[in-house]
Amino acid sequence: MKKVLTGLAAGALAMGIFASSSLAAVTYDSSAGTGFVGKGDVQQALGWNNAQLQKEANNLVFTYETVNTYAVTVTWTTGEGTKGEKTHILEYKRTSEVTSSLDSSARKANQFTGFILNGVKDTTVQGAVPADGEEFPGNSGHTVTNVELVSSTSTLYVNGVQLQ
Residue 127 burial (C-beta neighbours within 10 Å; 0-12, 13-18, 19+)? exposed
How many domains does the chain divide into? 1
pLDDT per residue over 13-45, tens digit each?
Answer: 444 433 333 446 899 999 999 999 999 999 999
State how far the Cα of 40 lies from the Cα of 42, in Å rounded to an integer: 5
Query: Would residue 56 count as lying in a domain?
Result: yes
Q: Give 63's pLDDT tier (boundaries 50, 70, 90).
A: very high
Range of the domain at 108: 7-162
Query: Would residue 2 count as lying in a domain?
Result: no
State residue 78's pLDDT score: 87
Mean pLDDT of 155-163: 93
What's the mean per-residue pLDDT of the chain? 84
Query: Would residue 20 count as lying in a domain?
Result: yes
Query: Would residue 108 count as lying in a domain?
Result: yes
Query: Would residue 100 count as lying in a domain?
Result: yes
3-state secondary structure of 23: helix
State residue 141's pLDDT score: 85
Q: Give 135's pLDDT tier (boundaries 50, 70, 90).
A: very high
State residue 120's pLDDT score: 94
* DSSP letter, residue 122: E
> Structure pTM?
0.74
